[in-house]
Amino acid sequence: MTPSARPALYYTASLPVKAGGELVNLQHVASLRQAGLRAFLLLDPAARVQAPKQPFPVPMVHWSERLTFLPQDWLVVPEVTPPATFERLAAMSCQVAIHNQNPYYSFKGFASIDSLNRYPLAGGLCGSLSTRDTLQRWGSTTDWQVVRPYVLPTFFRTQTKLRQIAFIPLKRPADANLLVQLFRGRYPQHADLRWVPIGGMSRQQMAQVLGESLVFASLSRFEGLGLPPLEAMAAGCRVCGFDGYGGSEYANPENGSWVPDGDLEAFSEALAGLLSMDDAAAARRVAASRATAARYSVERFNAELLSAWQHLLGPRIDQYRLADGPTGAQSR
């Protein structure tokens, strides 16, 4: 088989990167290249390439009418892919897999789990045990391969803590506003505490804010996993709030003050409890939190990703090897 005829793994994406899930796709491609596999980022026609400011130096291919795929090629698409696109993909000769990073978004691509089960999928990847278990509990028959993302090393830096609470209001803006007012009203002794919203930041900027924040208030909602609480743990924050369901994979009483979803009164009480912790208790909490975040390592990510593709490709995996070995800049 000549190099130009060898099959490849294509992760569909767009640029610039706007969400954590899009960054995870870049990490998949980078890791697979390092493992010696022909993986590419497949950009939609409207994508704006911002080289050399790419988050990862991965090879990118623009999707156009001139681009043809081999029957052995794999297209890895997100769960939020529109139904019309899934219909077009089903008519193509290549293999199609879904990378489902949030089960609660699954119905953006399919009207029902039954229609997902009837779709000619070659395989599925998902970002957490929680996502796999949720999809299976709903009736999915796809053989989902779990590849958990990793917490970037930049979040593990030690910084001087300020009396401030970091939070992400995006998914619960009304809850965020009510929580702040409720907390200030119930605990006037903490009126000087600063609340710092996180939004529209780079990962480095987010790491800086979390590193400076004493507390992270988790407003997670319908998450596949929920990386921000893990990133806050890595940054040494005292974490409390909602696990967003997906966070149940890692949330426990040792690493956070977790409260029932939507219970803002319990949330405000948990915040007050964190702020009144003595130094020894706070140190134990932060140590347990950082240990939890450390389990989401790049080493485990690489191992789970390679294992997933070994399962999906089976004995054909050698057909997908880079001609010049791991991390090579092999052209298509």
pLDDT beyond 80 at 20: no
Residue 67: the pLDDT is 87
User: Which is nearest to 11 in space by CA: 309, 243, 311?
Assistant: 309
What would the pLDDT profile of 271-287 be if each residue is shown by its tens digit? 999 999 999 999 999 99
Average pLDDT for the chain? 92
Do domains 3-150+297-320 and 153-294 share one topology? The answer is yes
pLDDT beyond 80 at 2: no
Q: Is 308 or 203 the better-scoring residue by pLDDT? A: 308
Residue 121: the pLDDT is 97
Rama region for 65: left / alpha / beta (φ>0; ψ in -120 to 50; rest): alpha
Residue 55: the pLDDT is 53
Find out whether the peptide bond into 197 is cis, omega within 30 degrees of 0.
no
* Tokens representing residue 256 in the block: 């956070």
pLDDT beyond 90 at 113: yes
Query: pLDDT confidence of 46, banded at 50, 70, 90?
Result: low
End-to-end CA, the chain: 14
What would the pLDDT profile of 49-107 be if each residue is shown by its tens digit? 554 454 567 898 888 878 889 999 999 999 999 999 999 999 999 999 999 999 999 99
Dihedral (Cα; 53, 21, 155, 235), 10-degree rounding: 150
Task: Provide the residue ranges of all domains of the chain, joining segments of one domain with +.
Answer: 3-150+297-320, 153-294
**How far are the Cα atoms of 9, 16, 272 from residue 34, in angstroms, in the given order?**
14, 23, 46
Query: pLDDT confidence of 172, banded at 50, 70, 90?
Result: very high
pLDDT beyond 50 at 3: no
**What mean pLDDT is predicted for residues 23-47?**
91
CATH number for region 3-150+297-320: 3.40.50.2000
pLDDT beyond 70 at 157: yes
Query: Which of these CATH numbers, 3.40.30.10, 1.10.10.10, 1.10.1380.10, 3.40.50.2000, describes 153-294?
Result: 3.40.50.2000
**How far are the Cα atoms of 24, 47, 136, 145, 193 from residue 227, in angstroms, in the given order?**
11, 25, 22, 19, 25
Residue 197: the pLDDT is 98
**What mean pLDDT is predicted for residues 231-244?**
98
Residue 4: the pLDDT is 55
Residue 328: the pLDDT is 44
Up-side HSE of residue 305: CA atoms within 13 Å toward CB? 27
Residue 146: the pLDDT is 98
Report the alpha-carbon distance of residue 22 to residue 309 in Å, rounded: 19
pTM: 0.92
Report the alpha-carbon distance of residue 177 to residue 193 in Å, rounded: 15
Residues 24, 127: contact at Cβ < 8 Å? yes
Place of tokens 């089903």: 90
Residue 331: the pLDDT is 36
